Amino acid sequence: MPDGRLDLPNHPLLDYVEIEQQREDLMLRVYTKKPLENLMSRFGEVMVLVFVAPKDGSEPAQSTAKAAADKPTASQPAATQSTPAKPAKPEATKEADSKPAPAKPEPVKQQAAKETAQPAEQPRAEVRTDSKQVPKKTAVTNINFFRLSNDVGQVSIALNKDNVEHEARMRGNDLELILYDTELPEDLLYVLDVSQFATPVAYVETFRDGRHSRIKIAGKRKFKHQLEQIDGYLRLNLAEAPQVDAQEAQAESSQKPISLNFQDVPVRQLLQILADENNLNLVASESVQGNITLRLENVPWERALETILRVKGLDKRYDDNILIVAPASELAQREAEQLESRQRMQDLAPLESSYIQINYAKADEIAQILRTDSSDLLSSRGAVTVDERTNTLLVRDTPEQIETVKAMVNVLDVPVKQVIIEARMVTVRDNISDELGIRWGITEPTLDTSVPPPWGTGTNVTGDFNVNLPIASPAATIGFQVAKLADGRLLDLELSALERENKGEIIASPRITTANQKEAYIEQGTEIPYVESASSGATSVQFKKAVLGLTVTPQITPDNRVILDLVITQNTRGETVSTPTGPAVSIDTQEISTQVLVENGETIVLGGIYQQQILNDISKVPLLGDIPYVGVLFRTDSQVNEKRELLIFVTPRIVTNTP
């Protein structure tokens, strides 16, 4: 759109409008025939600027308002901006220093707003007002507000001179910028609403303070600022402060050091100084009187306050964010009166009955908590009854106490978490045995009549051996005739050998689900009978368990880990042994009892047992069996190497409630 001017000679309020194209923005300057108030709003793509005459007859100064309709870009949406009616302006304050006391700031004369969206390569939003008055002394000539990248707000103040004396003070979420000996023109007195921009700033407000100018930057929340003065411009960059934990912030604030040096100063005045220094909301009782002399250097202000109160017999109480200071006796009396008043109100309050349905817990257990002497959930007139059939509480008490009971039930009556515990007992066996035996001797030959000469039937291996040292469990044997003696006798030899290898793996895996902090037990196996004799001589049959068992009590921690109290047993049938009352069966026992802390879903090794048994057994003819090389003919060798390993694993898993 080309630049131009639109005259409005017949309009009762407006004189003319200037139109100026600035890059992608459209600048409108509206000149009025008399002092007016203006409001600016935005509805979607429509920007509305309304001018109205004051209803109270006041004469605001003539003003110039400008509005820019942004073009949205791909990287930044168009920001909306509205300037509400000017709120009541608080009286400007002035710190006690060498400068003269400030005068009460003048009322705001105008509100104006402007926002500008820059190209996508540097996204920013802008609200700007310009002053056409050019004062002769040090003065503010222009104020701009920008939204920079990373949601940083910038207030840019143009001055007609360099190196203007200034001071920035933080007060809570607000920043006050004081420009000393600097004039603020009429058309720059306004409240600039920038709350629609994505910055921590809510609005910018300007004041006149005698010979000085004040600019208040109100924050939506805590922000940090950086101030620089370059070539006649003061620029304030305002970024959101990092979040700080409330307790840490309070602790840090209470440790802020302070130095005090006063002679015979009134206590009320000293308390006011502490409140101003630390931005406290303070209420002092009329009973707070007297003077105090003190000298404190770099003492935390909280400690300084405690010391002052203790010396003067005072005490403090916090009511939300308000600090109340009064004599200790007065506060104690007031609290006692409040307690008595509350008690009288409870005694006079009407009683009501309420039915509270218990869903997950047992109503009787909750009723026991309510009936304890140390519990203040019920008043002296209150009573609770349990209906076990419907698991319901019947509470009769004052409405206030009934609400307290309901709040307690909401905390306690929740589903109990459950845990699946899986144990695994792995037994590995490896058994290797080697045996070598020998039998030999001299036998008489016998002829086999069924076979024609010269062949015979051979030897009779079952008779007349002089050395008989076979293996215990004969498997493969080989026999042959070693020689035939001169008298016709035969020298026979029989060798027996056994090599045995036995490998096995036994896995027992009990699994159980239980509620938090509830013991659970599972077992599987057999019961072995045995005969038991009494002192009278009577006998009876008893049973012993040879079972695989798991006993566990889980406890879920707040960080979703599990503490397990475990007893795991694996008992098996053993060998049969002789007893005075007859044969009995022994029981081989494997058991572990422990407490562990395990992550949810993690498998942990509770323990293990490793056994190795090596046996060498030699049966031999004395002396002859020890002869080198030849001695093997007079002995039997047996070697056994048995390995056994037991490992116990456990894995807990917290059951997640899914809809």
Comparing 659 with 500, the larger pLDDT belongs to: 500
Q: How far is CA 404 from the centre of its chain?
A: 28
Last residue of a domain, one of 362, 382, 414: 414
Place of tokens 């005068």: 103
pLDDT of residue 533: 73
Last residue of a domain, one of 453, 473, 498: 498
The alpha carbon dihedral of 579, 581, 582, 585 has a sign of negative
The alpha carbon dihedral of 54, 58, 64, 68 has a sign of negative
187 and 115: one domain?
Answer: yes
97 and 175: one domain?
Answer: yes
109 and 232: one domain?
Answer: yes
By the 8 A CB rule, do 347 and 361 touch? no
Interior CA angle at 536 toward 530 and 537, to 5°? 50
Q: Which domain holds residue 470?
A: 434-498
Neighbours of 436 (CB within 10 A): 18
140-154, 242-256, 306-320, 393-407: segment of lowest average pLDDT? 242-256
By the 8 A CB rule, do 587 and 574 touch? yes
Neighbours of 331 (CB within 10 A): 17
* Residue 367, domain CATH: 3.30.1370.120
Quote the CA–CA distance of 280 and 571 in Å, as a whole number.
73
Question: In degrees to the nearest 10, what's the CA dihedral of 386, 392, 394, 398?
Answer: 130
User: Is 510 a member of any domain?
Assistant: yes
486 and 541: one domain?
Answer: no
pLDDT of residue 445: 61
331 and 379: one domain?
Answer: no
The alpha carbon dihedral of 223, 226, 227, 230 has a sign of negative
400 and 442: one domain?
Answer: no
User: Is 427 a member of any domain?
Assistant: no
SS3 track for 243-290: CCCHHHHHHHHHCCEEEEEEEEEEHHHHHHHHHHHHCCEEEECCCCCC
**Segment (H or E) for 203:** strand 201-209
This prediction's pTM? 0.42
17 and 122: one domain?
Answer: yes
Residues 531-542 pLDDT 10s? 777 777 677 788
User: Is 452 a member of any domain?
Assistant: yes
The total number of structural domains in the chain stands at 5
User: Is 328 a member of any domain?
Assistant: yes
Last residue of a domain, one of 179, 209, 240: 240
Residue closest to 122 by CA, chosen among 154, 151, 156, 148 = 148
360 and 406: one domain?
Answer: yes
By the 8 A CB rule, do 105 and 93 touch? no
pLDDT of residue 193: 86
3-state secondary structure of 522: strand
* Residue 189, domain CATH: 2.60.40.3470
52 and 131: one domain?
Answer: yes
- Bridge-partner residues for 655, per DSSP? 418
389 and 329: one domain?
Answer: no
Comparing 533 with 57, the larger pLDDT belongs to: 533
Q: Give the sheet arrangement for strand 539-556, strand by strand.
A: 520-533, 539-556, 561-570, 591-599
15-24, 121-130, 427-436, 480-489: segment of lowest average pLDDT? 121-130
How far is residue 597 from each of residues 281, 518, 560, 567, measured CA to CA in Å? 49, 16, 11, 15
Residue closest to 491 by CA, chosen among 442, 535, 551, 451 = 442
138 and 253: one domain?
Answer: no
* Residue 287, domain CATH: 3.55.50.30
394 and 517: one domain?
Answer: no
Q: Looking at the predicted structure, is the pLDDT value of residue 410 above 80?
A: yes
- Bridge-partner residues for 43, per DSSP? 46
- Choose from 35-44, 123-132, 236-245, 287-296 the range with maximum mean pLDDT: 287-296
Mean pLDDT over 331-345 rounds to 85
Mean pLDDT over 306-327 rounds to 89
Mean pLDDT over 98-118 rounds to 37
> In whole numbers, what is the pLDDT of the chain averaged over residues?
75
User: Is 190 a member of any domain?
Assistant: yes
Longest dimension (CA), the chain: 163
Q: Which residues of 621-640 are buried (b: 16+ CB within 10 A; e: fewer)?
A: eeeebeeeeeeebbbbbbee
User: Is 485 a member of any domain?
Assistant: yes
User: Is 619 a member of any domain?
Assistant: yes
Mean pLDDT over 56-68 rounds to 39
The alpha carbon dihedral of 246, 249, 251, 254 has a sign of negative
Question: Which one-letter amino acid corresponds to residue 74?
Answer: A
User: Is 420 a member of any domain?
Assistant: no
Quote the CA–CA distance of 402 and 408 in Å, as a whole number.
10
Mean pLDDT over 637-647 rounds to 83
Q: Which two tokens stand for residue 608?
A: 């293990």
Q: Which band of pLDDT confidence, cut at 50, 70 and 90, is reported for residue 2?
A: low
